[in-house]
Each structure stands twice: as structure tokens, then as C-alpha cells.
Amino acid sequence: MLFKVIASYMRSAPLLFVGIAAGGLFELTFHYLSALSYKYLIDKALLPKDVSVLAVIVGALLLLGLLNVVLGLTGDYAKAKLGSRLIFDYRLRLFRHIQKGTGRFYQRFPVGDLIARYTDDIPNIHNAVMQTVSTGFVSAFSVAAGLAILFGIEWRLTLAVIVGSVLLVLPYRLLKSRSLRLNIAYSERLGRFNGAIDENFKLHNVIKGFDLRESIREKVEDNLRAMLAIGVRRSFIHANLQRLPLLAVSLLGAIVLSYGGYLTFADQISIGSFIAYNSIFITVGQSLFGLAAIIPYLLSSHTSFRRLQEVMDADPGAIPRGARELAPISRELTLSGVTFGYVPGEPVLRNMDLAIPAKGYTAIVGASGSGKSTILQLLLRFEEPSIGRVLFDGVDIRDCDESSLLRQIGVVFQDSLLFDGTIRDNIRIGKPEAVQSEVEDAARAAGIHDTIAGFRDGYDTNVHEQGGNLSGGQKQRIALARALIRQPAVLLLDEATSALDAETEQAVRAAIHAYARYGAVVSVTHRLTQALSADRIIVLEHGRVAETGTHETLMADMGVYRRVWELQKEEGNRGAESREHVLA
């Protein structure tokens, strides 16, 4: 996989590899020529005391040294650009893929695990590629070229070196599988650690409120201790993969000195040749050590490639874009024979037929798990029916361009999450080109304008991470303003007023009713009091439509709606009596 990645970049950016190769190979050439110069320096200049030969050799080495610096800088720039490009490409590819993910995708790959693939796996791949390109290829060429030169100087000594080099392979063969297992274990533990940190930030109030800090700390500490143990073993094995080949090179060096010294004593090679041979062998040995040094990077990248490929090969659950532009909605939204479940074989909606007019206020009520929010997921095309179709004005939304669908929809989710930025920025997410008057009109409709105006910085008030400096009701109203500002044909509300006080909720409900004269408002709620004034109430039970009608007609039918209404009313009365008793 590593070499496929390198080959793909060689095709797309050949000049970078030319620059890297030029810098690396010329540096290698300079080292070998410098080492080889000892033969001529001793045999042709120093021993004969020939000044002219000495001057030529020194001048040539100075010129080659200057060129080496220039080409080395060129290679360094090319390596920097290649490394940055690789990081950019992999981060973007992974981000684009996970951005398509649905809920099922994120159940398989928790947030902490995905973060680990960004922070650990992509850098591992980057390091392996850069080490292979900058050190591996040049070192391999250096070994081949160096052995050829050594063979030309003294073939018997070189054969002894080649036979002894088998020792270099043994550490890799012995430690490879253990290194791979530890790399996988460490990556998995890192994913759990990232998940724990993410959870600690997001659930800080819950952890503190339930006094879970000690148990959470112990859990994180246990994981860190496991990472520590794995990390020590992994680092030690990686050190062995680098250190043991160095021992083998040292043994080969001893062979060169011993056998080479013997050949020199026997006058079978000159002193200059022996010194040159030893100098070149040192360069070859350094190259062999360089090859050994990249082995840990290669093994780490092997694990990281597999982990990244696991994510990239996973179906994100994204629905392919249709080619058709969805015309402005004017008649109705329809679920036709829809069956859907998040888990195969466990349907949430069962053969549902449902029509929602393009104008008016429709409330969808039912117990938890009855499929209320799932209907919104299907209307948004976040999910796709297992059986049946979702139609807007008779057009299957699977055939439509996703953007043309979402442009006509405004949505307020149950969790009113806000982005980092100002309040104005958050409201304008619904309509980026909106002017200030439009922002304020949307805020007024959502019942939040006066609150914002009371802030010191008004609409320029910065929203902390996920709206941490705002109350639940304030976040919910800003989220509602974000949906209203785009003046959508369809407004989807998922428990959109659950965090509001009674007075604010009444004002917001009036604004929603006014909006329903021009478009479709679909509100999901489990509190029947919020559905009282809806033009149409759809009652769900066990994934099916149990009843439809207005509040009055459903109360008269003596069915599911009335039973739940009376139950909620009774619970409300008991709650009021309890509060009165406490106050008394």
C-alpha cells in the first residue's frame, strides 16, 4: 500500500520527486566521491608529493560540496511540499468520507476512534512515506552503488560483506509480527482515550453533577496505564529494530578491517585502496542503518493504512445525489408505503402512508420510539426507506439533487447545537447572504431579539463551544431563528420548544402558526399541549399511523390520543398538587 501511494504521487507530482532524487542522489555521489578520493589522494598525491594532483582533488571536492548544498536545499523544499501535500490530501479525503456518514456509521466508528485516525494514523503514514522517499530509496541506491564500487576495488572482501549482511534481516523477521500487534493495540487504546476526553468535555456538567469525576478519572487512568505499558513495549521493539542492525553493521566493519588488513599486509591491495574501501564501506553501513531505521515507520504505517482503509471502505450510509432539481413545493409531502428501521429486521416505521399538506401546521405525536423523529429524518433524506417512497409534490426525493431539497427545508433539532462564532453568524447559517434587518426579523419571530439586544455585544456576542454560555431556551430560540431566516417551504420542528418557558413558548407558537399560512410546518412532540392548535394531528403508535384529526375530533374519538391526553393531564395535575404542597 505504501508504494502504491508513493507511485500515485510520482504520477501526479513528478517534479517534486525529481527534486528529491536530485538532492539525495547528488549527496550520495558526493559522499562516495569524497571517500574514493582517499585512494587517489594517498596513492597519487601525498605519497608521490604531487602538489598539482592535490590541488585538482581539493578543488573538485570544494565544487562538488557547493553543488551538494544547492541541490540539497532543492530536495529539502521538494520534500517539505510533498509531505504537506500528503497530509492535506489524506485529511481532506477522510473528512469528506466521514462527513457523508449517517448515525449508523458513527455507531461503528466512535468520535474518539475517528480522531485517533486523524491524529495518529495519518501522521504515521506521512512519516513512513517521507522516510521511504527521503531515506529509503536513496539508502537502497547507496547500498547497491556502494557494493558495486567495493566489488570493483576488492571483490573477495565484498563477497564476505554480502554473506555477512544476512544478519541485517534477522531482527525484522523476528520482531515484525509483535510490532504489528502492539501498533494495533496502541491505536485502539488511543481511540478510547480520545473518546473519553471528548466525553469528559461534552458531559462535564453531568459528570460533575453526579460526582463521577473520580470514577471517570480512574477509567481514564487505567486506559493511560495500558497505553503506557503498550507504548514502552512498542518503543523498545522499534528501538531493537534499529539497534540490532547497527550491531550487524559493526560486525561487518570488523570483518572489513580484519580481512582488509590481512590483504594489505599481503600487498594484495594498496594502503590507499584499503582506506578508500573502508571509507566507502562506512557510507554503505550508514545507508544500511538508514534502511533499518525506517522499518518501525513501515510497520506503524502498515497498521495505520489498514485502519484508514477500514474507514474509507465502510459505507457511510450516504444516499447518492439525484440529478433532478426539485421544484418549489406547492402541494404535499407524502410517505407512500414506507417501512424503515435503523437495524435490519427491526422496523421503526411499518408500511406507513402519510400525506402532509404544503401549507398548514401538522403535529406528529406519539410515545418515545413510535417513529416521530424518524419521519423527519426521512423527509430530510438523512435516511432512506427500506421499502416505499418519500415524495414531495409527487416526486421521489431520491431522484432529486440533495441541495435543491434541503434549500427548501428549515429544521430545528431536539439538540439545539450552535457553532463557534457570533449569534449573528449562527442565525445567518440559515441564509448566509442575509442582511441585519433579516437577522433581527428572524430573531423576533423566534422570540429571542430582546434577549440578544440586552447582551453587551448584542448580535456580536460570541457563542462559546456548542453554546455553553447560553441557556437551553436561548439556544433553542437561536436555532429556530436560524431555520426561520431562510423562509423555507417546509419547517421541521423536533421538540423545538421543549426548553422554553410558557410565555415565550406561546409567543413562538404564534409565530409558527403565522408561518404555517405560507408553508408546511411539521412539528414532532410528545407533549400533546403543544399540538392543541395544530391544523392536523397525526398520532403514531408502534411505527404506524393510529389516528389523525384535530384536537377536538381526536378527543371525541375516544382513542389513543384521548387516552394519552388524559394521562398527561393527570400527571400535570399531580405535579401541580405536589408543587402547591411544597410551597405550603
**pTM for the whole thing?**
0.71
Give the fold, CATH level 3, of 2-313: ABC transporter transmembrane region fold (1.20.1560)
What whole-number distance in Å separates Cα of residue 188 and Cα of residue 146?
A: 42
CA–centroid distance for 112 within its chain: 10
Nearest to 409 by CA among 394, 422, 397: 397
Q: Where in the chain is the domain with CATH 1.20.1560.10?
A: 2-313
Give the per-residue pLDDT at 428.
93
- Enumerate the H helices of 294-337 as residue ranges: 295-313
- Residue carrying the nine cell digits 387516552: 563
Give the fold, CATH level 3, of 331-408+490-584: Rossmann fold (3.40.50)
What whole-number distance in Å separates Cα of residue 76 and Cα of residue 65?
A: 16
Largest pairwise CA distance in the chain: 121
Q: Where in the chain is the domain with CATH 3.40.50.300?
A: 331-408+490-584, 415-487
What whole-number distance in Å separates Cα of residue 351 and Cα of residue 79?
A: 59
Give the per-residue pLDDT at 583.
40
Give the per-residue pLDDT at 581.
47
- Local structure of residue 269 (DSSP, 8 states): S
Give the per-residue pLDDT at 522.
94
Q: Average pLDDT of each block of 10 consecutive residues along the chain (584 residues)?
A: 83 87 84 78 80 85 88 88 90 88 77 85 89 85 86 85 79 85 88 83 73 84 91 89 80 86 86 83 83 84 88 74 79 93 88 92 90 91 90 91 89 85 92 94 90 93 77 87 92 81 76 86 87 90 91 90 87 55 43
Domain 415-487 has CATH 3.10.290.10: no
Give the per-residue pLDDT at 466.
66
Helix (H) and strand (E) counts in the chain: 22, 12
What whole-number distance in Å separates Cα of residue 142 and Cα of residue 74?
A: 20
Nearest to 326 by CA among 382, 402, 409: 402
